[in-house]
Amino acid sequence: MVFDLTEEQRMIQDTAREFARKEVLPKAAELDENSRFPEELIRQMAELGFMGIAVPEEYGGAGMDNVCYAIAMEEISRACASTGVIMSVNNSLACDPVLKFGSEEIKREYLVPMASGKTLGCFGLTEPGAGSDAGSQKTTAVRDGDFYVINGTKNFITNAPQADTCVLFTMTDKSKSHKGITAFVVDMKWKGISLGKHEKKMGIKASATSSIVFEEVRVPAKNRLGNEGDGFKVAMNTLDGGRIGIAAQAIGIARASFEDALSYSKDRKQFGQAICEFQAIQWMLADIATEIDAARLLTWRAAWMKDRKMRHSKESSMAKLYASETAMRAAVKGVQIHGGYGYINEYPAERHFRDAKITEIYEGTSEIQRLVIAAALLKG
Enumerate the active-site residues: 363
Where would I find the H helices in the chain? 7-19, 25-34, 39-48, 66-79, 81-88, 96-101, 104-106, 112-115, 231-267, 279-307, 313-338, 349-357, 366-379
What angle separates helix 7-19 from helix 66-79, to the nearest 10 degrees?
20
| Other residues' Cβ atoms within 10 Å of the Cβ of residue 343 | 14
Q: How far apart are CA 304 and CA 312, in angstroms?
A: 9
Do 290 and 216 touch, CB atoms closer than 8 A? no
Q: How far apart are CA 266 and CA 122, in angstroms?
A: 42
Q: How far apart are CA 135 and CA 154, in angstroms?
A: 14
The DSSP output letter for 132 is S
Residue 156: CB partners within 8 Å, gap ≥ 6?
Answer: 126, 199, 209, 211, 362
Do 337 and 275 touch, CB atoms closer than 8 A? yes
Tell me how long the chain is.
380
